[in-house]
Every structure is written in C-alpha cells, then in structure tokens.
Amino acid sequence: EAAVTQSPRNKVAVTGGKVTLSCNQTNNHNNMYWYRQDTGHGLRLIHYSYGAGSTEKGDIPDGYKASRPSQENFSLILELATPSQTSVYFCASGDADWGTSQNTLYFGAGTRLSVL
Amino acid sequence: GDSVTQTEGPVTLSEGTSLTVNCSYETKQYPTLFWYVQYPGEGPQLLFKVPKANEKGSSRGFEATYNKEATSFHLQKASVQESDSAVYYCALSDTRTNAYKVIFGKGTHLHVLP
C-alpha cells in the first residue's frame, strides 16, 4: 500500500481562488517536502518540514504556504492561485539519517493542478 | 551552492541498444548520490543510491559509479527495454551541510522504441 498519499489527484481552480493540496505519509519520517514539476525545470523545492509544527522555505516559496499539523500530514496552500502555478505537485517524505549524508525521498503519485 | 547537471533529453533509443545518461555535480562536501526513476503517471522512486566515493550502485540492470575526482555519476545500461521508458533524475544529498535538502537535476526523458 502507498506510504505517501496525495489528494486530490487532479484539481481545476480559478484565478484568485484558494487551493489546498494535502499529503499523508505512513513512513513515520520526520521530513516532508513539496515539489513542483515542470518541463525544462525538473523538480523544484517549494517548502519542506522537519517535523510537526515546522515549515521551511525551499527554493521557490513565493505564492505558497505550507502547514505541518502532525507527523503524518503536510499541506500546501495557494492563497491566491495564479495561472503560473499550473503544474504537477509532488509530496515526499525523507528518511534523513543524522551522521551520514543519506536522505532518501519517497514520493506520492502527484497532484495535477490547473489554474484557469 | 550545490548543483546537479545531467544529459538533456529526450533521449530516444531502440530496444537492445546501450544507454548512458551523464550526470555531473558540484558540492564542497561528500554527498550521497542517487538515481531516481519516474514512470508515466507516477511519482519518482529510488532506483539506487551510492553513499561512498569510488563505489558502484546498481538496480534492474542500471549501474553508476560515484567518481569523486571527476565529480560524475553517469547512469549506464547495456541493453535497454521498452519498459525502461521513463524520466531519470540524478540527485545528491548531504545531511552534514543541510539536513533536509535533496538537489535534483532537471531529468532526462528516455524513450525506448520496440
């Protein structure tokens, strides 16, 4: 069974509307991430979290907020959606191991968002 | 800052031919290097990782050697199959400099023709 689950899988939103993308993980990992995937850009980090109650800015945080209310759940919030935020969004959990350089990510299946 | 550069795609091959996807990285530390694969309609998944310089990783017939001197981690497969059609991402992590960040290349889209 999937350990990282995203909802919804597809979303159509209107410009200026509020969009919330949800992610749930059963890996019991401390770290969670939101990426967007666009042709020519690959995977770009929006926000990440290292535990319940924490959120940190990634490389492209403008226009996005994040919320981590529990170990299992991490949400991405678009307060005022714009057409430039049309993309595929991936959530991931990571098993970062202090003392080594390893941090393997486990991804969900993605949410395809269209902002009209 | 840290960065990863890989072969720009798409790469189109016939079944049975060999594959090389180049990956070069920049970092001041000693990272773990990864190859992820993303099949259509799915999220990326780990193909394999190599935490130590001069060691080789492999999975499903793919392999790559962590070359610290050349700062490279090229993905190779001797004979590709149609089912290998996917996007391949090279990535690095270094929890000693940033506990949480994983740096990805832009991805290489592989099409294998029957």
Nearest CB to A101; choose among B32, B46, B107: B32
Q: In this structure, which amino acid lies at residue A102?
A: Q
Which residues fall within 8 angstroms of residue A3, CB to CB, at 6 or more apart? Answer: A25, A26, A27, A93, A106
Provide the residue type at B48 as one letter. F
Query: For residue A70, how many other CB atoms are within 10 A of its CB?
Result: 10
CB contact under 8 A, B100 and A96: yes
pLDDT at A102: 77
Please tell me the distance in Å from A16's CA to the nearest CA on chain B: 28
Output the pLDDT for position A101. Answer: 66
Only one residue has tokens 């059609």, namely B85
Residue among B46, B51, B105 whose CB faces A100 most closely = B51
Q: Does B30 touch chain A (CB under 8 A)?
A: yes
Contact between A108 and A4 (Cβ < 8 Å):
yes
Of B77, B50, B78, the C-alpha closest to B66 is B50
Phi/psi-derived region of residue B61, left when phi > 0, alpha when psi is between -120 and 50, beta in every other case = left
Q: What is the pLDDT of residue A110?
A: 97
Chain A residues in contact with B46 by the CB 8 A cut-off are: 104-106
User: Which of B31, B43, B99 faces A107 most closely, judged by CB atoms?
Assistant: B43
- pLDDT, tens digit (0-9, with 9 covering 90-100), for B28-48: 877 899 999 999 999 999 999
Asked if the Cβ–Cβ distance from B105 to A42 is below 8 Å, we say: yes
Q: pLDDT, tens digit, for every residue of A3-29?
A: 999 999 999 999 999 999 999 999 999
Q: Are A93 and A71 spatial neighbours (Cβ–Cβ below 8 Å)?
A: no
Residue A88 is encoded by which pair of tokens? 């595929």
3-state SS class at B63: strand
